[in-house]
Amino acid sequence: MESWIGRMSIRSVAFLHGEFLNAVAEYQPGVCEALYGEPLVLFGKLEGYEQTFDWEHFEMAADPTMGDALIDSLLKWSRDWWLDADWCREAA
């Protein structure tokens, strides 16, 4: 028997991820406040094209110094808030 997750479209999964993160932002605003700190500042310092990569490809393409700092910052943020899944960091 196929699971209900296997029948969901990518668009549906993306929608549910977004709804989950919207609920987190509403009920635990500290999550977004922490994200707007160091991770967002580091993201803003990246070259324009580097800002378009998904989490999976970012590490390979980003400037080593800035990329490593952003990755470390996002990993710390996601672990601190128990949102330690690739899709959470990518959505962030």
Q: Which of 19-28, 34-43, 66-75, 83-92 tops mean pLDDT?
A: 19-28
Q: CB neighbours (10 Å) of residue 88?
A: 20
Q: Is the pLDDT of residue 85 over 80?
A: yes
pLDDT digits (tens, 9 = 90+) for 13-25: 788 888 988 898 8
Considering the entire predicted model, what is its pTM? Answer: 0.65
d(CA 30, CA 28): 5
Cβ neighbours around 89 below 10 Å, total: 18
Q: What is the pLDDT of residues 48-66, one digit of tens each?
A: 655 555 555 555 555 556 6
Boundaries of every domain in the chain: 5-91
In the predicted structure, residue 27 carries a pLDDT above the cut 90: yes
